[in-house]
Amino acid sequence: MSIEAPAHDLKLATIELEHSHPLGRLWDIDVLTPEGEILSRRHFALPARRCLLCEQSAADCARGKTHALSDLLSQMEALLHDADSRNINQ
């Protein structure tokens, strides 16, 4: 998808969405500058995304295959169920 907007502003908006939406922990929205540079949380002096299962960096856990896929999927399902429950109760 391509959106005509300042990349810096767009990345800030996606970070806010990832933090504020009930399913935001499941999203990893990349924003590229017109020059092709990926804007990361580091560009905004923010910490790396945390693993869904522990306090470590999600990238470190993914790279090291720290957790079983079944455990990750269970946590993802729990987040989906929780978000669905919130929508039903509103």
The Cα–Cα gap between 23 and 20 comes to 9
Instruction: Give dist(CA 38, CA 48) in Å, integer.
Output: 14
In this predicted structure, what is the pLDDT of residue 80? 94
Q: How does pLDDT run along the chain (90 residues), one tens digit per residue? A: 888 899 999 999 999 999 999 899 999 899 999 999 999 999 999 998 999 999 999 999 999 999 999 999 999 999 999 888 876 655
